[in-house]
Amino acid sequence: MMQPELHRPLPFERVGPNGLDVTVEATPEECAALAERMKLPAIQRLVCTFHLSQLGTRRVLATGRLEAEVTQTCVVTLEDFAESLTEDFRIRFVPEDEITDELELDDDDEVPFGNGVLDLGEAAAEQLGLGLDPYPRMPGAELPVSNEAEEERPFGALDRLRRMN
């Protein structure tokens, strides 16, 4: 298995009964690799804080905050623009052998882990991916207004005939 671009392994035992606070900050090299994976022009900064709490003997609840500075490409103008992201999240780390497809809409997202090791880096990368707008628009970008006459549209003539009947 290939190691993810942002890899921060944490043994399950480190969480402990009192919980654990951890901050993951991507290096410039990791930001560049993540930008390539997510098909972004650039990621300038990615910081993710986690508060981890044990849920029973094999699961971990993570609440956290992701902050990122990214460059995205506007879907309207095709120009690159800078965007700041701040996302609060709540996820559960679950052993790989306990992951199910039967989740309720209000359930926390489940992140699998194996060999007793959580990967906080990959969890941060996944949160970034979830926080990105799939159709980013630069502030002020508007779709062009079509000035075509109705008849010039591909089905304009058919629409005019339909209205005549």
Q: Does the CA dihedral 9-15-19-20 come out positive or negative?
A: negative
Q: Indicate the pTM of the whole model.
A: 0.81
Distance, CA of 59 to CA of 12 (rounded, Å) = 9
Q: What size, in residues, is the chain?
A: 165
Distance, CA of 70 to CA of 31 (rounded, Å) = 9
* Domain boundaries defined on the chain: 9-164
Task: Going residue by residue through the chain, which has 165 residues, state the pLDDT in tens, using 9 for 90 and above.
Answer: 567 899 999 999 999 889 999 999 999 999 999 999 999 999 999 999 999 999 888 899 999 999 999 999 999 899 999 999 999 999 999 998 887 777 666 778 888 898 889 999 999 999 999 999 999 999 888 877 765 554 466 676 667 667 776
Phi, psi of 117 (to 5 degrees): -125, 125
The pLDDT value recorded for residue 13 is 92
47 half-sphere exposure, CB direction, 13 A CA radius: 6
